[in-house]
Amino acid sequence: MELILKYFPELTDAQRNQMAQLETLYPEWNAKINVISRKDIDNLEVNHLLHSLGIVKFVKFTPGSRVMDLGTGGGLPGLPLAIYYPEVSFHLVDRIGKKLRVAADIAERIGLQNVTFQHGDVKEVKGKFDFVVSRAVMDLGDIVPLVKRLIDGEDRNAVPNGLICLKGGDLSAEVAKYKNQVLIDELSSYFKEDFFKTKKIIYLPL
């Protein structure tokens, strides 16, 4: 929790308690189901929780916003974001049922009231969202056609509605098709840990 509190000192006591529970519940679940790489679970705070919260540094969602987390797995980035934004609705979607059950159990145990879950393909999702977020799920060229129909046209945030992806490495080929629209934000400008040197936020208005 030390680094989360360093970068997000504005968290309320209730939010701090929920974040702290994530650091207990994910390792507990990971011993049963491989939700996070077993080699990486010791780096949970930086590589997973703080990484997920990088989206907060890019855009502050306004109360009443609706966000879908595509390919959430065990609830990342959805659950940390739902803790940070208690007045924003999050819909977490994944095709792997056992991982989604982990996310749902953790959400229930920490008392999150602003999350819903859907087991299945993104093509089965109904409704409209201000943003779709994802964390290293698939290439931009694959994800955009899948989520474009889900983005609501009414903007209520500081940036237009669209897609926000957490990614790493050389993305030049992946973003080439959208070079005139895409915005790339370096997470190293917010977080000083080595893990973030190659980590980026990719934002595409839709």
Q: Taking residues 186-195, report their average pLDDT.
A: 97
Token duo for residue 72:
């959430």
Mean pLDDT calculated for residue range 87-116? 97
pLDDT value at 14 more than 90: yes
- With 90 as the cut, is the pLDDT of residue 37 above it? no
Scanning 13-96, the segments in alpha helix (DSSP H) are 13-30, 51-58, 78-84
Angle at 176 between CA 172 and CA 179, to 5 degrees: 110
Kindly indicate the confidence band of residue 153, based on its pLDDT and cuts at 50, 70 and 90. Answer: confident
Query: Amino acid letter at 50?
Result: L
Task: Check: pTM over 0.85? Answer yes or no.
Answer: yes
Mean pLDDT of 191-198: 97
pLDDT digits (tens, 9 = 90+) for 158-167: 999 999 999 9
Answer whether residue 136 shows pLDDT above 90: no
Place of tokens 């987390």: 69
Tokens, residue 8: 């997000």
Neighbouring C-alpha atoms within 13 Å toward the C-beta of 83: 31
CB atoms closer than 10 angstroms to residue 38: 11
**Can you tell me the distance from the alpha carbon of 173 to that of 103, in angstroms, rounded to the nearest whole number?**
33
Tell which residue, 57, 80, 89, 86, has the closest CA to residue 203.
Answer: 57
CA 64 to chain centre: 17
Sheet architecture: strand order including 162-168: 115-119, 89-94, 66-70, 131-135, 162-168, 199-205, 183-186
The percent of residues in the chain predicted with pLDDT above 90, rounded, is 89
Cα separation of 182 and 203, whole Å?
6
Least confident of 31-45, 74-88, 93-107: 31-45
Q: What is the pLDDT of residues 167-188, one digit of tens each?
A: 998 899 999 999 889 999 999 9
**Residue at token pair 């390792």:** 27
**Which pLDDT score, from 0 to 100, does residue 179 have?**
85
Average of per-residue pLDDT across 128-137: 94
